Amino acid sequence: MAKKWKQILAAGLTTGLLMASSSQPVFAQSDSLIDAILDEEEGADEITAEETTEDFAEDTSYSMLRGTNLNLGSMKIKKLASNEIGIYGLTQCHKKCSKVYLSIYLERKVNGSYGTYKYWNFTANNVTSLSKTLDVAVPSGTYYRVRGYHAASNGGLKESTSTLTQGIMVK
């Protein structure tokens, strides 16, 4: 039995060595590799479904059906200049709430994906809505979008929703 295992092992090793020595490595031409790298870098700012060609984008999200406190959340982003954007965020309630929340996350596209660039958190007490308008200086040459977190609490019940605009090019 041990002899049979040795024969199988020897046959397997021989087959592996033959396959390894008979394989031909294939190398891409260096021009193609450079072109592929350049295409990938250029593709980082290519427009996708996450972006728009407009200078303005917005998103509104309504709270759960027949929510008690929170009605909706809304975020808007607008290109103001070659290095400045305007941001507007709103958390709207059905009635006066003990605490209303609005968090704004400005996201910047770098190397093909979005990440948080700046953020702001706001709260207000005993109000029916909370809104903020911000003008932000940003580096040009890439896409920006805004993500919002909207919440309202009253009597121990907290309801929330989130928003996300498409990206706009600032150049």
Q: How far apart are the first and last CA of the chain?
A: 75
State the pLDDT at residue 18. 47
State the pLDDT at residue 67. 80
Q: Both tokens of residue 158?
A: 């907290």
Q: What is the pLDDT of residues 9-25, one digit of tens each?
A: 555 555 554 444 444 44
Phi, psi dihedrals of residue 65, rounded to the nearest 5°: -50, 130
State how far the alpha carbon of 152 is from the alpha carbons of 40, 61, 73, 129, in Å. Answer: 43, 14, 10, 9
State the pLDDT at residue 16. 53
State the pLDDT at residue 135. 98
State the pLDDT at residue 162. 96
Return the beta strands (E) in the chain as ranges.
56-62, 70-81, 84-110, 113-137, 142-154, 157-164, 168-170
**b (16+ CB within 10 A) / e for 99-123:** bbbbbbbbbbbeeeebeebeeeeee
State the pLDDT at residue 147. 98
pTM over 0.85: no
**Residues 94 and 69: beta-carbon distance below 8 Å:** yes
Q: Both tokens of residue 113?
A: 């994906």
Q: Which residue bears the tokens 């020595």?
A: 21
State the pLDDT at residue 63. 76
**Residues 120 and 141: beta-carbon distance below 8 Å:** no
Count of C-beta atoms within a 10 Å radius of residue 143? 22
State the pLDDT at residue 45. 58
Q: What is the mean pLDDT of each run of 10 residues along the chain (171 residues)?
A: 57 52 46 51 68 97 82 97 97 97 98 96 98 98 97 94 97 93
